[in-house]
Structure 1
């Protein structure tokens, strides 16, 4: 019997009569087979490949055959915009079979929520944060609302797995699993993920159902790719404006500042432009989506806010300034096109730098080889563990540690945390007044209440924290968007100008009491200096592919002549520095450069390894190389240091890596960091900044038998006693002089440089290099 024939008769009739379908797609056939059999599943298909219907049709059929008292199915999306975008579509599907759907997120009116609690819809569309609100709220009877919950659908699961929000999602799902009378069926949807089996294992959690990956063979399809190179942003915007003329396009930029600048230049060229990024007001973003959807000659200049499956209508072209950081992002963005019959999925890269050209080529070639980044599930997610302790202590009349631990150990993201460690954390939080203990139950403490208790504890419901922002509005109170505190601090009333929503604005007044900035239209102003604080890491595989491209001699057909010339110059400049193995050393004036092409986290880890041996050296890593400076430092010194850190014992030295972890910079990674004891904060920082296993594998060719546990310090008697073991030296220097008249070495952008900044010019000083010195 076909899958379609197994659907409820009313659903079959609606699919044919209301939707006009004559058949199901392969992904819908395979998913329907698995889901109707009650299996957990991860469903993979390209953007617009029918994943939503593949999950929702079997879900509706199940709810029709076995009606639920209360919520029967959850559809969870990572962002509100995707919920809003999907609400009409899923509403059509529920209406056509006599069921209901309800959308609950932060913008849903309170009266509508109360009505839903009294009369629940069969399908609830929401976010992890809104689910937390329901579980904590005294006004929601979660036992009654979710006792018949059967199915949980997680859209864009690749955007959640392996992150704090993913840990939060699984924590909430496992709490719902205790409420429900059923073993929750879990369904993840994604267009791009490299390790679906791991994601399925993570999503399955405590469910005892069988599981299946639904990944039908992909039909070969046309791809139109182009990489161009222009030396300035105005030239890029001018070229993009010509391409975008008369069609509908999305122009992805890597930073909000570039988004604003590109939009201004394109608008000056006569293009109908909308701006879409996280600092633009919700009203402005919705207006952009609506007008764009109805138009036929327009471009939305955006950041990753439109990378997920938000439907902005029929799209002709995807444009990209520079290159995204991952193959997954590239495929997600390209997948927004090619949906019409006869249309090819396409992406046009507009690169301001030669490095951007190389990165774009690497992304394309990795995608053509069928490679996508793996998502690494975590099992020691301390920030969300703290968050869940606070949330459970806030609900009802608190929670005993036994009940909390019984719930927490069900979550895959906490399974690496031992009970003794959790007890130690709770003891710290009690001393720190983040928690209180009353009659054996953990309650929210005064420190946590002061920090997260504003607006009825809204700050506690989400595991991520938006930065302190100021609302930007015109003199007639029209909202334009928001600015971060750090940027606002540099503004001067009556003097400063900035770009927002693609237009220049002059600052009239800054009102700190209610965090508002009053502006009026102004002549073109300077672009705002948006910037992140954390280093931005490229992956090892992507950086290694850049090395392979530099060492090759073929020229991809999708390069313009200018981009091909940029590639040729980079290859000539880097010809002496692309050996595989342990990389190549360049000896330049005032510094040594170790070209590893190992990626940001590995290079960052190697930096601390070298610094542990020579604390007088200044070691500066980026995604492709490590610069080493020091008084009188020689090539032999670096070779000896590399030999030392290449010893497997170096990576198993518990005390040494504990000392290194103590010196990590105090980046703010989580809103719950102020509640962390030092040992938890150190481990969280180390897990972001360091990759001990990856660095050891890259350097030694094997994974160490064990890597230090940076979360649990050794006893003080062992931690500080004795001196550091100095590993034996076995230098193997090899030399080769650089050819005379070789072109200047290109400068790869350090990972800690704010996105969108201009690269420094390449240094031309090079005395000699060491080829394959560490191979």
Structure 2
């Protein structure tokens, strides 16, 4: 049975009141746990434990918790006298099988129901595949079928939900959907301009948002949802600082999964007690944890999904009051160099699209095409550990033949077992029995085995005797560095790599740390609704004045770029493609075009194809559509990194590419988009203003002067670029001194002094202008690898992506064409009879010499196209 109803509508009671009635009326003696409740969150289990314990207290029905924070003594009581209701997580149920396999049938012997809460959070995930396997293994252990009940507030596809709950028999599942009106909701979408100052590293929009949050939320209970844990820390710190500056009690507190249990529970308790409290949180407070009634909810930036938006909105508006949500969206200031995707105000329009779809009661459907091979690996190891060995026939029958992995046939399963054997995860005895291999034993013996998903290596953060939480180490953390954590500012006292411990002390400064995490996948429906919004004249009534202006700007850009008529536009020498499809199909489209020889990268909701006009793109797409042999697995084989899920690294190439194709590619969606796009593209590339043919991209001849030879430690002090067309004619020059913000270093080489560089612009100030010069051009340099290494280091310091460049090295050309070992520019020019009187040992002088040398190679070959 599936029960779908709004948050706080009584789904738990709807499931457990009938269960309790049956348990009370039964005269059968206790013979094991009678009802199993499975939740995605330990905190939700703790809440439901209190609710069910109250419900069952006078019924003489025991209620037990079983998860990682429960004392061993409490678990021992369940093992010795199993009865009543057991609340657990998939990971703890996995541990029960691995550690107490022979006792599972006794412990769960009286099981009459399995209840899955927040079922939507499991669907289409590796954790969901693990849960389905565990439910099937419970039934195998008991030798009978156990009724299942799924609860959720945000199910969009009821057929998919029924099939998830009972694989292969979804048609037999009863579905109960509440027809109640979700009630009144008050909504405001506020728009902001992102006034980030590159020199000052300040963000005026985030401060303006924090000021508004402080003003409207103080004195009440609220939830502020953000999509990244680093933003939780950043906004919590800003709001705390505002409170302290104004000498009022702090009401703003952080809440996310990396904070210690007592830190999170402190915030939850404040909310329950009704003390004015605003929790700045991620999805940790999105689900049905009992925190009492909150006055309002805020969402900073576009919500990750429509389902998440519904969950978050549903956290307010209890006790007959309307739900209140404020959404804050910041868009960049538009300049002439701003990419088209940013000019479209895409985040604002995406947010409006999600709100529209929420009004239609539409939610994202799960990805049901996944093979879940990583989780199948885990389940193979788990069953072998559970029974101290298993035959291949039994494993395939229990997991694939009658189990939830029915899409894996015997051939694929045999390949998987051979891959595991080749990696020492399993080994086979002479009688055919499969046992754990050496590596398999070490994997299963580690506590992290019970989770189907991978977790990053984390350090424990301690201040004095108190543990604040954990931090994944994505960048080095050094003593005396400053960070913001648990809503406070800290200085790092020490870092112990052996014990994974970071000691902190309070500080006045700090920056929010980085946390691991992936952005949610945007669906086809959201992108298609965005197109409708761009072409509609209707202005939603819930937009504030600034958001209305941003929407008008986005619509004007959409009209000006004629995106209703064409999916592609020229941007310099590149083409920006707008297919208006979901992320999975869009990524697949990028892989297709890359495989076809185009340099392609993702830019939000669009693809940018480098050095390619719309007409050439049409020709490439036409060729792709004519290829009848293309398939998702072959396409996945061209992706550089297909290790995504926890155990993918133990799969061979065949299975890994199959797993990647099933989970991360949407070939039918991508091909359908190409068929729709191809006839809208021009057959010839022309200037949109006067209709003349567009010029082919040319060359940018580059030279740098630096403080030294190490890209890691040294800096650029001068840049020069000579522009050439495809026929070798010089079309322009650009040159700039660069303030390295340190000693000029090797002045005896480049001739530049501290005084000359003091008033020069920093690289940050000229980086946009410099990048434009490279746009669409082939980069030429003498020992160009040296120049690229410095550019890569400097771009990384500025946290900007280095443009994807095709390069030609005149030093390598000389070695190839003349079979000589000359290296210096002067020697190469002398051998080519190029006078050196232009050379002033400056970047511009050397760039001019390099351009002349390059032209020399052109004159002595059959044209630039033949130059390697």
TM-score of the aligned structures, taking structure 2 as reference length: 0.73
Distance 2:145 2:440 in 1: 34
**1:44 equivalent in structure 2:** 4
The alignment partner of 2:174 has SS state of strand
**1:661 equivalent in structure 2:** 636
Q: Are 1:62 and 2:22 matched, yes or no?
A: yes
From 414, 433, 444, give the equivalent of 1:441: 433
Distance 2:800 2:562 in 1: 21
**2:62 equivalent in structure 1:** 100
**1:345 equivalent in structure 2:** 323
Preserved CA contact (<8 Å) 1:577 1:585? no
**2:255 equivalent in structure 1:** 276
From 383, 393, 414, give the equivalent of 1:402: 393
1:717-740 CA-partner distances (Å, limit 9, x unpaired): xxxxxxxxxx9999656989479x
**2:511 equivalent in structure 1:** 526
Q: Are 1:681 and 2:656 matched, yes or no?
A: yes
Preserved CA contact (<8 Å) 1:94 1:101? yes
Are residues 355 and 151 of structure 1, via their aligned partners in 2, closer, same or farther at CA, if it must alter by over 3 Å?
A: same
**1:482 equivalent in structure 2:** 470
Preserved CA contact (<8 Å) 2:371 2:662? no
Alignment of 1:460-539 (within 5 A): 460-474=449-463, 476-487=464-475, 489=476, 491-494=477-480, 496-532=481-517, 537-539=521-523
Distance 1:619 1:361 in 2: 29
Q: What's the offset of the Cα at 1:370?
A: 2.3
Distance 1:549 1:736 in 2: 29
Q: What residue ranges of structure 2 are gaps of 5+ in the alignment?
A: 194-204, 244-249, 332-344, 691-797, 802-868
The alignment partner of 1:141 has SS state of helix
Distance 2:53 2:267 in 1: 23
Preserved CA contact (<8 Å) 2:101 2:386? no
The alignment partner of 2:471 has SS state of strand
Are residues 100 and 209 of structure 1, via their aligned partners in 2, closer, same or farther at CA, if it must alter by over 3 Å?
A: farther
**1:560 equivalent in structure 2:** 544
Q: What's the offset of the Cα at 1:602?
A: 1.4
From 544, 548, 561, give the equivalent of 2:528: 544
Higher relative contact order (CA closer than 8 Å, sequence separation 6+): 1
**The structure with more radius of gyration:** 2
The alignment partner of 1:202 has SS state of helix
Q: What's the offset of the Cα at 1:623?
A: 4.1
Are residues 181 and 601 of structure 1, via their aligned partners in 2, closer, same or farther at CA, if it must alter by over 3 Å?
A: closer
**2:173 equivalent in structure 1:** 211
Are residues 412 and 240 of structure 1, via their aligned partners in 2, closer, same or farther at CA, if it must alter by over 3 Å?
A: farther
**1:296 equivalent in structure 2:** 275
**1:749 equivalent in structure 2:** none
Which segment is superposed worse, 229-238 or 200-209?
A: 200-209
The alignment partner of 1:409 has SS state of helix
The alignment partner of 1:423 has SS state of helix
Preserved CA contact (<8 Å) 1:577 1:584? no
Q: What's the offset of the Cα at 1:588?
A: 1.5
1:520-562 CA-partner distances (Å, limit 9, x unpaired): 0111212223354x56532111122122212222111100001
**2:593 equivalent in structure 1:** 610
Alignment of 1:566-715 (within 5 A): 566-577=550-561, 579=563, 584-613=567-596, 615=597, 617-630=598-611, 633-647=612-626, 649-650=627-628, 652-654=629-631, 657-666=632-641, 668-700=643-675
Distance 2:493 2:469 in 1: 16
From 187, 194, 197, give the equivalent of 2:156: 194
Distance 1:697 1:100 in 2: 56
1:299-325 CA-partner distances (Å, limit 9, x unpaired): 000011111111111111000101112
Preserved CA contact (<8 Å) 1:472 1:479? yes
Alignment of 1:30-41 (within 5 A): 41=1
Distance 1:605 1:207 in 2: 32
**2:816 equivalent in structure 1:** none
1:232-259 CA-partner distances (Å, limit 9, x unpaired): 1111111011111111000000111111
Are residues 485 and 140 of structure 1, via their aligned partners in 2, closer, same or farther at CA, if it must alter by over 3 Å?
A: farther
Q: What's the offset of the Cα at 1:53?
A: 0.6
Distance 1:410 1:348 in 2: 49
Q: What's the offset of the Cα at 1:215?
A: 0.6
The alignment partner of 2:580 has SS state of coil
Distance 1:398 1:201 in 2: 31
1:616-649 CA-partner distances (Å, limit 9, x unpaired): x31012442110112xx332101222333344x4
**2:113 equivalent in structure 1:** 151
**1:724 equivalent in structure 2:** none
Preserved CA contact (<8 Å) 2:34 2:112? yes
Distance 1:125 1:290 in 2: 21
Are residues 177 and 410 of structure 1, via their aligned partners in 2, closer, same or farther at CA, if it must alter by over 3 Å?
A: farther
**1:392 equivalent in structure 2:** 383
Are residues 187 and 733 of structure 1, via their aligned partners in 2, closer, same or farther at CA, if it must alter by over 3 Å?
A: farther
Are residues 680 and 577 of structure 1, via their aligned partners in 2, closer, same or farther at CA, if it must alter by over 3 Å?
A: farther
Give the aligned CA root-mean-square deviation in angstroms: 2.8
The alignment partner of 1:558 has SS state of coil
Preserved CA contact (<8 Å) 2:6 2:182? no
Preserved CA contact (<8 Å) 1:640 1:729? no
Are residues 238 and 535 of structure 1, via their aligned partners in 2, closer, same or farther at CA, if it must alter by over 3 Å?
A: closer
**2:96 equivalent in structure 1:** 134
TM-score of the aligned structures, taking structure 1 as reference length: 0.81
Distance 1:538 1:86 in 2: 32
Q: What's the offset of the Cα at 1:493?
A: 0.8
Alignment of 1:318-467 (within 5 A): 318-341=297-320, 343-353=321-331, 354-378=345-369, 380-409=371-400, 413-438=404-429, 439-450=431-442, 452-453=443-444, 456-467=445-456
1:107-159 CA-partner distances (Å, limit 9, x unpaired): 11111111111111311100111111111224861121122211000000000
The alignment partner of 2:621 has SS state of helix
Aligned length: 664
Preserved CA contact (<8 Å) 2:129 2:372? yes
Q: What's the offset of the Cα at 1:759?
A: 11
Preserved CA contact (<8 Å) 1:324 1:330? yes
